[in-house]
Structure 1
Amino acid sequence: MKFNTRAMFCAGVFAAASSQTVIAAPINEVRDIFQQVSATPVVHAHFEQQKKLTSLNKTYVSKGNVVFSKQQGVLWQMQTPVQADLVVTPQKLVQKTQRTMSQINVQQSPYGSVATLFLQLMAGDEKGLASNFNIVSATHNNQAWAVTLTPKSSLFKKLFNQVNVQGGRYVNQIVIQEKDRNITQIRFSQQTSQPQNLTAQEHALFQLAK
């Protein structure tokens, strides 16, 4: 079955690389930020995505819930404008609706690279991000932090221009600058580390991407 990029809210995050001088962020700042994010094994949150398409002068909004599990991956449960579950693991992406299910191999599709970015950000995977991105700026204090990423690998240069991430204990916002001045912004709210165990339904959905 063809993978439905309309229902998969994080698909289509494509951007052209920008030419700029890369200045690395302070190592200690970066390490502190990602250690803070990676300290929580399970996070439940509400998300709202706004995708601004400059050429059409339109903004598309998606809302739902997200579950991050360091051991399993990320489960996006979109509620509006359509209901769909998107399961992201290091190996696969699985999209499930009430009537259909489709999957792709992360290594065999550009959409896998988009999903990998979200997985690495929410996991605080400093090593994984560093293999694909330059961390050009990082600020951190007791309450909040911010990181700016630009693509390093040739694949990600074809997909992204710049990624800005903000957070505290958890990732609070991801802003992706895309081709043709399009912007994707994802905001997280109502984050909690409880319950630490997945529900039977959440566990079953993650099993679909094994």
Structure 2
Amino acid sequence: MKRLSARLLLCCLLLSCLAPLAQAFDLQQLSDQLARPEVIHGQFIQEKHLRALPQPLTSKGRFVLAKNHGLLWLLQTPLQQDYRITPQGIARRDGSTWQMLPNKSAGAEQNRLFLAVLQGDSTGLQRDFQLSLSGEPQRWKLTLTPRSVLLKQVFNQINIDGGELVQRIELLETQGDSTVLRMQDATGAQPLSEAEQHDFAE
């Protein structure tokens, strides 16, 4: 009887230990959470920290992330320039038209990375990075460590923090420079405007 009670107690202890593991916040849950909104509007502040400069280079603007369309990255200061990032590539607004940019540039790679992160594309990210996730749905941290030789030449590590949506992205480069991107006032309450639909359709 005592042996049976001991086994029962052991089983209960094991189940109590396994329950939190079964409920742990994982990459698939994070992907589902980030992919849930159809459209996200928000503001961004980007700080580029260069070893040669005492102060970071700061740019500000707004963004529109639309499921099955891509990302509109609308830079407002220090200069005005609009970018459209889709699976087909990156385009820059030139007057009333969009001009496609070369896909080989470092900026293009960084923007594609932003799109994958904001859309919650963990499968795509896992092709190029080792992913380590900690936290819970309302407060999590995702660390990306490059896999490929090419990416290892550019990045040491990428840190992403968020809650319901991505809130902060930090890119640590091998040369000692870094970029910090803060997403602010993000909301999924508004659909695409006619102008935004037109920008994605072109």
**TM-score, normalization by structure 2:** 0.81
Over the aligned positions, Cα root-mean-square deviation in angstroms equals: 2.0
Within 5 Å, give how 1:83-94 maps onto structure 2: 83-94=80-91
- Asked whether the equivalents of residues 147 and 165 of structure 1 are also in contact (C-alpha less than 8 Å), the reply is yes
The separation in 2 between residues aligned to 1:201 and 1:195, in whole angstroms, is 13
Considering Cα pairs closer than 8 Å and 6+ residues apart, tell me whether 1 or 2 has the greater RCO: 1
Q: Is the 1:83–1:97 contact (alpha carbons within 8 Å) kept by the matching residues of 2? A: no
Aligned AA (2:183): F
Deviation (angstroms), 1:112: 2.9
Structure number with larger C-alpha Rg: 2
Partner-residue secondary structure (3-state), 2:113? helix
Task: Report how many residues are paired.
Answer: 179
What residue in structure 1 maps to residue 69 of structure 2? 72
**Which consecutive unaligned segments of at least 5 residues does structure 1 have?**
1-26
Map Cα deviations across residues 83-132 of structure 1 (whole Å, 9 max, x no partner).
110100011111115488532253x4443322221111011001100001
- Work out the CA distance in 2 between the residues paired with 1:98 and 1:36: 36
Aligned partners of 2:25 and 2:134 also within 8 Å: no
1:147 corresponds to 2:118: no
Q: Does 1:193 align with 2:159?
A: no
Task: Give the fraction of aligned pairs with identical amino acids, expressed as a percent.
Answer: 33
Cα separation, partners in 2 of 1:33 and 1:182, compared to 1, 3 Å: same
The one-letter amino acid paired with 1:94 is A
Partner of 2:116: 120
Larger helix fraction of residues: 2
- The offset of 1:39, in angstroms, is 1.4
Q: Which runs of 5+ in 2 are unaligned?
A: 1-23
Give the conservation status (yes or no) of the 8 Å contact 1:91–1:105. Answer: no
Runs of 4+ in 1 over 6 A off after TM superposition: none
Q: Deviations over 1:48-75 (max 9, x none)?
A: 0011111222311111100001111010
Deviations along 1:117-170, one digit per CA (max 9) or x if unpaired, are 1111011001100001111x2112242111000111233223322100011111
Q: Which residue does 2:152 correspond to in 1?
A: 157
TM-score with structure 1 setting the length: 0.78
* Local SS of the residue matching 2:143: strand
Out of 36, 39, 43, the residue aligned to residue 42 of structure 1 is 39
